[in-house]
Amino acid sequence: MPETILITGASGLLGRALVARFAQEDFQVLAHCRLRPGKEADNVHWLAGDFSTAESTADFLIEHEKKLKECRYLINNYGPITLRPTVDVTGKDLLADFLQQVVPAVDISRFLIARAPLQAVLNIGFEYTGEIRAYQKILGYAMAKNALLLLTRSWAAAYPGVCFNLFSPPSLEKAEVLPKQAHIVAPELVAERIFRIMVRHSSGFHYRYTDPPAAAKR
């Protein structure tokens, strides 16, 4: 019987590559989007949802509860980047970044742990997860993504029956924000690496991306 995976933020560069990779292996893919759904297929179903507040995230979970109760895998990929000079960042800005990056990951994971046969969760960090460094334009985003690292470590200890992962992807080809001297990789290669982590029921912290072998077999 096909296994079900929920991928949040599925309409972005990495999200669409993840949807395609898991659908290729006959997973039942529940692909979350806010505004731009992709093409429906027999094993790909797009679920619209607004994750900008805790209340709207809860509405999404209630609306799609029947489908979500089949999930064995979850990839928390949702999290738009807000660019703002560090000297202009306010507490309200930081709160907004945490609402976008951390709150959906927490509430969706907790929902599936309680109601679904969840086996593995993978949270998407960013290229410099775990590093202490100065940020000129993405301070709130970086702080929230590093909070996902602490969350993943804590939940791995609290829920030993679920495999928890944090994956730090490199910069993606055609991304709107590309740091200087970035390691730029095609989204499909990153999706392949994540696919392998999930289907092998790995559990860990994948800080540095490495290119997968050309031949990828489940």
In this predicted model, what pLDDT tens digit does every residue of 62-102 receive, in sequence order? 999 999 999 999 999 999 888 999 999 999 999 999 999 99
- To 10 degrees, the CA torsion angle through 166, 111, 102, 123? 20
Is 179's pLDDT higher than 70?
no
| Helix or strand holding residue 184 (H, E) | strand 184-185
Q: How far apart are CA 24 and CA 101, in angstroms?
A: 28
Q: Residue 180: pLDDT above 80?
A: no
- Residue 211: inside a domain, yes or no? no
The answer to the question of residue 111 being in a domain is: yes
Quick check: 184 pLDDT over 90? Answer: no
Residue 214 belongs to some domain of the structure? no
Res 207: pLDDT: 60
Helices (H), the chain: 13-24, 54-63, 65-68, 91-101, 103-115, 139-158, 187-199
Q: For residue 59, how many other CB atoms are within 10 A of its CB? A: 13
91 assigned to some structural domain = yes
Share of the chain above pLDDT 70, in %: 92
β-pair partners for 204? 165
Stretch 169-196: mean pLDDT:
82
175 pLDDT exceeds 80? no
Structural domain that includes position 93: 4-206
Residue 174: which pLDDT band, with cuts at 50, 70 and 90?
Answer: confident
215 within domain boundaries: no
pLDDT at 218: 39
| Per-residue pLDDT at 215 exceeds 60 | no
Q: Give the total number of structural domains in the chain.
A: 1
How many whole angstroms separate alpha carbon 52 and alpha carbon 172?
24
The CATH number of whichever domain residue 30 belongs to comes to: 3.40.50.720
Q: What is the pLDDT of residue 101?
A: 94
Look at residue 69 and tell me if it is in a domain: yes
Whole-number pLDDT of residue 181: 66
pLDDT band at 171 (very low <50, low <70, confident <90, very high): confident
Does 188 map to a domain? Answer: yes
Tens of pLDDT, residues 123-146: 999 888 888 899 999 999 999 999
Q: Is this prediction's pTM over 0.75?
A: yes
**Does residue 213 form part of some domain?**
no
